[in-house]
Every structure is written in C-alpha cells, then in structure tokens.
Amino acid sequence: MANTFETAHDKSSTIIQLLNSQNARKFREEYLDLHVYEQAQIFVDLNEKQRARLYRYLTAEEVGDMFDAIEEEPEDVVTYFKEMPTQYAANVIDQMYTDNAVDILAYAPKKDLAKYLRLIPTEKAAEIREMLHYEDKTAGAIMSTEFVEIVGNQTVRSAMHVIKREAEDAETIYYVYVIGSNEKLIGVVTLRDLLMHDDDVMIEDIMTTPVLSVQVSDDQAEVAQTIRDYNFVAIPVTDYDNKLIGIITVDDIIDVIDEESAEDYSGLAGVDTDKETDNNPAKAALNRLPWLIILLLLGMSTTTLISHYESMIGQASILAIFISSITGTAGNAGTQSLAVAVRRLAEKEEDQPSWYKQFLTELLTGLMIGLVTGLTICIIVGIWKQNFVLGFVIGMAMMCAITVANLAGTFIPNLMDKIGVDPAVASGPFISTLSDLTSVLIYFNIAKVFMKFFMGQ
C-alpha cells in the first residue's frame, strides 16, 4: 500500500519553495496545515530572508503558537525576535504561554527586554517580570500562569461556563483549581468530576482537598519526581502563603527530566553533550579537551606512585603486565557503583536505604564480585604463567581493589551531595583517580609480601 503522507523532507522542500516564490496564500495553506511541532522544525531550517517573509505572511498569534513548540536552545531563539519588527515581536511574545516566553526572554539583552515589555499588555508584562526573578531550575522558573480557577460556592454549571471562557488561553483544563479567600488554594476538581455531576451540585461538595502542591522555590527535579510518583497531568504552584500563582504541566516536566538526564550524563562523561549537536571537529575537541587535561594531570598521581615501586618492577618485571588489568577492572566496578549511587541521589525517594545500609550493601557486593573476579584471574594467570602463587597475588589484589572501588563509588557521591556539589559532575574524576591509586597501592603491597614465593617458581 502506497504511503499517502509526505516525508518531513518533502514538506520542508515544499514550504521553502513557496516562500522563495513568495506565494503567500499557498504558503499559509500548506504551513498552517502542519502540526506546530513540524512548523517549528521547518522554521529553524530557514534562512533570515525566508524567515522575514514568514513573519509577513503569518500573524503574531500563529507564530506565537509555533514558538511554543520550538525546541532550539532559548539563547538561539531569542535572536529571532531581533529579526522581527519590535511591535510584531512583542505580539508574538504576548501570544506565547508565559513560561515558554520567560524561558526565552531570560536570554534577551536588557534593552530589548524593556522594549518588548513596554509593548505587551500590562498584566502579561507584570507576570513575565515576576517570573524572570525566580531562581533558575526552580518551580517558579518553569511554571505557567495560564490556568483555570474557580471558587467553592459556585455550581458545576457556573464552573463549566468559566472553563469554556478561559479554555483557549489555559495550558490545561483537565484540572480546575478552587481558591478561597485571599486567592489561597483550597481544592481541585477534574474535568471528569464536572462532567459526572449534575449542573446544580456545588463545587465545594465535589472538590478534592487537601491539594498536593509545590512551592515556588522547590527544585525542579523534586517537582518532576512528585509528578512522576502521582501520575499528575499538572501540579499547582503556591507561594509561602499558599496562594495559587501557577501550574506546572507534564510537558514541562518531560523537558526537565531530559535536561537533568543530560546534565548527569554530561557530568559522568566529562563532556557537555548539549554543545556537540553538530559535526564540527574543532568545537568537539575544544569541548572535550579541558576535562581530559584535568584527568591527565590527576592520572599523573598514579604514575608517580608506580615510580616508587620501580625497583620492585625491576626485580619482577612480570608485575607490570597486570597493572592495567587490575586498575581497569576496579575502575569499571567503581563506575557501576557510582552510577547506582548517583541515580539513587537523583530520585531522592523517601524509602531509600540509609547511608550505612548503602555502605554495607556495596561492601558485600564488592566482596562477592571481587571474589569471583579474583578467582577467575587467579586460575587464568596460574595456567598461563605456570605460577599459581603469582595468580593468587593478582587475584587477591583484584578482589581488594574492586571492593575499595565499590565503596568509593558509593561514599564519594554521598559526600559530594552532603557538601552541596553535584555528585554526577564531581564524582567521575575522583572515582577514576582514587580507584587507580588504591589499586596500584594494594597490588604492589600484596606483591611485596608474596614476592619471594612467586619469584622462586
């Protein structure tokens, strides 16, 4: 069966061709027929001349809807506003959801920001100014102020009228929030609740209370965890007096989860993955080099330690063969333990085990892994070199090194978290360096004790 849908490439080619031919009517017909996500994907591929034509052919409302779906970095998106006539840019911002507009305007030069806010309706401008002052990565920074609120002493019929009136501008209408005196949050009803009850039923009789909410200063990662745990579509945001000031929807939380995951991965890998979206080798090298240089300098400490055992290596050069095996295996074990610890810290679950229990678990895990791995390498080296005493030395060193690396993988992230440093960013180099140092120290000290035995074989 033939596929009747155009590919993304075909759609983009058609749109660009219509722009180049300045066929405004056909362009609007084809472009607005697309989903806003597809519109945004095509928009970012246009050059400045093509975008200028697009601004002439589309209304500010249509461009605002598309900007709500754009996935470019905010610092890049804000430059598009400078291409537009100032009043047009202000109208686009006015048509966007407040939280999305704030994300972008946070990167606007102060002079440009002031111009836009002067041309935006006073109420919307005040909301944007207030949200721009919230600390980054908090509930206040990602919340939306477009929500539906009602009061408890009205009927379902009256509430439905409010929803119909405000639905077009609201981010979501599934949750309707009930406020009391001084705009304090006292309850919530869902659209399902409203549809299931008679028109004359009072809201206060069907609303759910108390309402689970987050405060404006709560960390975005904690908010994401709450929404994930309770499977909410949205969650209300209150100030310190329990006044309802915004909501956070699940689409914003998906972005937060992606952002937090990217940061954790970047920290563990020692590279900013968000900066390597193109195939520029020079930029990639510049992005990766600083971390590698730091790790190289830290790695010199291991080299210095090995040099202290130079005379021992001179007497038994066979010891040098297994240094990389022991340090590499211990490093891998430490990385596994580190990944589990960082993940556990990121989730911050209430029922997570105590630090002492985590330490004991990793100790036993390290001993079991080390015992099996050490026994395996002992047999391999014994058969390979016809020297089971040497195999015992290698196996014992590997078991001890893996156990220590496992403990470090748990201990260091918890320590970093206690002192307020991101465990994902700070743990990687420490685990790598500490694992190498302890592995070499353990290896050569065990070898020194048994040297006269395996040297005689």
Which spans in 97-190 are helix H? 98-105, 110-119, 122-132, 139-142, 156-166
Rounded CA separation 380/382 (Å): 6
The pLDDT of residue 283 is 72
- Token pair in block for residue 234: 């949205």
Say how far residue 252 (Cα) sits from the centre of its chain: 11
CA distances from 34 to 44, 62, 377 (A): 15, 12, 61
Q: Is 392 exposed, middle or buried (0-12, 13-18, 19+ CB in 10 A)?
A: buried
pLDDT tens column, 19-39: 999 999 999 999 999 999 999
- Lowest-confidence pick of 205-214, 259-268, 385-394: 259-268
Give the pLDDT mean for 112-135.
93
Which domains does the chain possess?
8-136 (1.25.60.10), 149-252 (3.10.580.10), 274-454 (1.10.357.20)
8 Å CB contact between 143 and 237? yes
Phi-psi region of 348 (alpha: psi -120 to 50; beta: other; left: phi over 0): left
pLDDT at 275 over 60: no
Query: How many Cβ atoms from other residues are within 10 Å of residue 179's Cβ?
Result: 18
Mean pLDDT taken over the chain: 87
pLDDT at 217 over 90: yes
Of residues 356 and 207, more confidently modeled: 207
- Token pair in block for residue 242: 């329990």
The pLDDT of residue 2 is 42
The pLDDT of residue 57 is 96
- 139 Cβ partners below 8 Å, 6+ apart? 214, 215, 216, 217, 218, 219, 220, 223, 237, 246, 248
Rounded CA separation 92/66 (Å): 10
pLDDT tens column, 66-76: 999 998 889 99
8 Å CB contact between 337 and 384? no
pLDDT at 282 over 70: yes
8 Å CB contact between 327 and 401? yes
Q: Is 321 exposed, middle or buried (0-12, 13-18, 19+ CB in 10 A)?
A: exposed
Confidence of residue 351 (pLDDT cuts 50, 70, 90): low
Task: Check: pTM over 0.85? Answer yes or no.
Answer: no
Of all residues in the chain, what percent carry a pLDDT higher than 90? 57
DSSP letters for 189-227 = EEHHHHHHS-TTSBHHHH-B-SPP-EETTSBHHHHHHHH
Of residues 377 and 450, more confidently modeled: 377
Query: CA gyration radius for the chain?
Result: 30
Confidence of residue 347 (pLDDT cuts 50, 70, 90): low
Say how far residue 234 (Cα) sits from the centre of its chain: 19
Residue closest to 27 by CA, chosen among 37, 13, 40: 13
Sequence-distant contacts of 273-279: CB under 8 A, at least 24 apart: 274/73
pLDDT at 5 over 50: no
The pLDDT of residue 1 is 39
Residue 270: its H or E element = none
The pLDDT of residue 457 is 54
> Looking at the chain, how many residues does it have?
457
pLDDT tens column, 43-53: 999 999 999 99
The pLDDT of residue 176 is 96
8 Å CB contact between 413 and 338? yes
- Token pair in block for residue 273: 């993955």
Residue 354: its H or E element = none
pLDDT tens column, 296-311: 777 788 888 888 888 8
Confidence of residue 278 (pLDDT cuts 50, 70, 90): low
Does residue 210 have a cis peptide bond before it, meaning omega lies within 30 degrees of 0? Answer: yes
pLDDT tens column, 250-265: 988 988 887 777 666 5
